[in-house]
Amino acid sequence: MGTDAAEADVVLVNTCGFVEKAKQDSIDTLLAAADTGAKVVAAGCMAERYGRDLAENLPEADAVLGFDDYTDIAARLNGVLAGEKHDAHTPRDRRELLPITPVKRSAAKVVVPGHATVDEHTPAHLRKVLRRRLDSGPVASLKLASGCDRRCAFCAIPAFRGAFVSRDPQELLAEAEWLAKTGVRELVLVSENSTSYGKDLGDPRLLEKLLPQLAAVDGIVRVRASYLQPAETRPGLVEAIATTPGVAAYYDLSFQHSSEPVLRRMRRFGSTERFLELLDSARALAPEAGARSNFIVGFPGETRQDVDELARFLTEARLDAIGVFDYSDEDGTEAAGLPGKIRPDTVKRRYDKIVALAEELCAQRAEDRIGTVVEVLVDSIDDGEIEGRAEHQAPEVDGSTTLVGGDQGVDLAALRPGDLVRARVTGTEGVDLIAVPTEMISAAQVDR
C-alpha cells in the first residue's frame, strides 16, 4: 500500500462531499488519477453522498464505493482490477439506519466508517489496531466518532455520514499507544462534533475523562481536541482543556456566525455576548489559550447589520485563526430552500470585507504573542529551516512557528522532528511566529 499513484494498479481517491470547492477538488483528483492509466475508484463522502449519479457522470471512475462497501473493500478493489463491473449504490439518508436514541446505537449492525470491529468478543483494548500510517511525521489524527445529530440548516453532513456514534474509549487508548510506538508525539482528536463524544455510551462527559488518559500515554506530549460545538462546550470540558497537563489549551469552536437572527435561521444557538463569555471562561483558566473558528458570510436573510455584528465579534474575540466561507446552496439542505437569498456580488463584497478584517485581526493576535514563551513541537527540518507549532497552532489549518538561533538556549543543529521545546517569540510573519528555543522539554526518542 502506498500514496504514489504513478506505480499503482488501482488508485483509491478518498473524496470530500461537504462544500463545492472540496467536491471540485475531489473530481479533479479523480480525473488526474485516471490520466495515470491505473484503475480509479472513488470512495469517501462524495462517493457515498452521490453514488450512482457520480458513477454515471464520471465515467473515468471504474467504481464508486459507498460506506457499505468498506467492510470488504479489498475484494472490491480486486474486482475492479480484474475488470468486474461494480454497481454503484443509490444514496440514502444514513441517519435513518441507526436508532434515534443514542445509547441504543452501539448494538446496531450498521457500517460506520472508522468503526470496524473484527473480533467483537475481544475487549476493545486487546483488539488489533485496524490502521496503517502512510507517513512518519510526529503528528497523527485520532478519530473520536462519526456522524452528527445536529440539524444545522446549511449542512448536509449528517445525511450522508449518519447519526453520531462514538468509538470505545479503550479502543482509542489502544490506538493512541500504537501511534506513540510509531513515533507520534501529538494526537489530534477529530470528529464531526467532538463535544458529543460519549453521549451514546451513556456518559456525555467522557471526553473530559479521556483527555488526561490520552495525555498520559507514554511518548505522547500533546493532545489537541478539534471541532467543538459552542452549545455543547460545558464548563467542565473548558476546564479540562485549559488545565490538563499535556492537553493543548486550544479551542477549535464552530461559531459560524455571531448575529442571533442569522444563527437562529442556521438552527444554531449563541450570540456575540455568549460566545465572548465562552472565550473569556477559557482565558480565565489559561490566559494564552488559542482559539480558532469558521464563519459563513451571505447566509439567506443576512443583513448589513448582521455583518456588522459579526465584525464586532471578530474584533473582540481575539481569535488566532479565522476561516471564512461565502455561502452557497448545498444539495439537500434546509438553507437551499430558504427565502432571502443574497445576491452573489453582495456575498462576495461581504466575504472580502470579513476576510480582510480576519487577516488583520489574526496578524495582530500573533503580534500580541511577541515576548511570550510558547511550547513548540518540531514538525519538520528542511534545508536548515526548523518549523513547528505552538499550542495555539493546529496542523495544516493554522499558522506555524519557525525556530531560529539566539544568544542562549537549545542547539538548533541538534533538533529533530518530534522534539518539544520551550521558545520565546521574537517576531511574526502574518499569523506565523518566529521564536528562539530556550529549553528542551521532551526530546523525540530514536527508533521507537
Each residue of 192-211: pLDDT tens digit?
999 999 999 999 999 999 99
Residues placed in the known binding site: 148, 152, 155
Predicted confidence at residue 448, as pLDDT, reads 47
Nearest in space to 6 (alpha carbons), one of 27, 26, 32: 32
Are the C-beta atoms of 93 and 331 separated by less than 8 Å? no
The whole-angstrom separation of Cα 300 and Cα 303 is 9
Q: What's the one-letter identity of residue 216?
A: A
Query: What is the per-residue pLDDT for 372?
Result: 96
Q: 321: closest CA among 393, 407, 257, 227?
A: 393
The reported pLDDT for the residue numbered 356 is 98
Cα–Cα distance for residue pair 198/64, rounded to 1 Å: 32
Q: DSSP class of residue 333?
A: -
| pLDDT at position 98 | 84
Residue pair 310/297 in contact (Cβ under 8 Å)? The answer is yes
Domains of the chain: 10-82 (no CATH), 97-368 (3.80.30.20), 372-442 (2.40.50.140)
Residues of the chain with pLDDT under 70: 1-6, 116-127, 130-131, 408, 447-448
Output the CA torsion 98→99→100→102 (10° steps). Answer: -90
The confidence score (pLDDT) of residue 127 equals: 67
Q: Write the CA distances from 223 to 47, 219, 283, integer angstroms.
A: 31, 11, 18
pLDDT of residue 429: 95
Instruction: Give the phi and the psi of residue 358 in degrees, each rounded to 5.
Output: -60, -45
**pLDDT score, position 445:** 83
**Residues 103-156: tens digit of each pLDDT:** 888 878 877 777 766 556 566 666 677 667 778 889 999 999 999 999 999 999
pLDDT at residue 122, as a whole number: 64
Question: What is the model's pTM?
Answer: 0.90
C-alpha distance across the termini of the chain, in Å? 22
Is residue 433 within 8 A of residue 390, CB to CB? The reply is yes
- Residues contributing to the annotated binding site for [4Fe-4S] cluster: 148, 152, 155
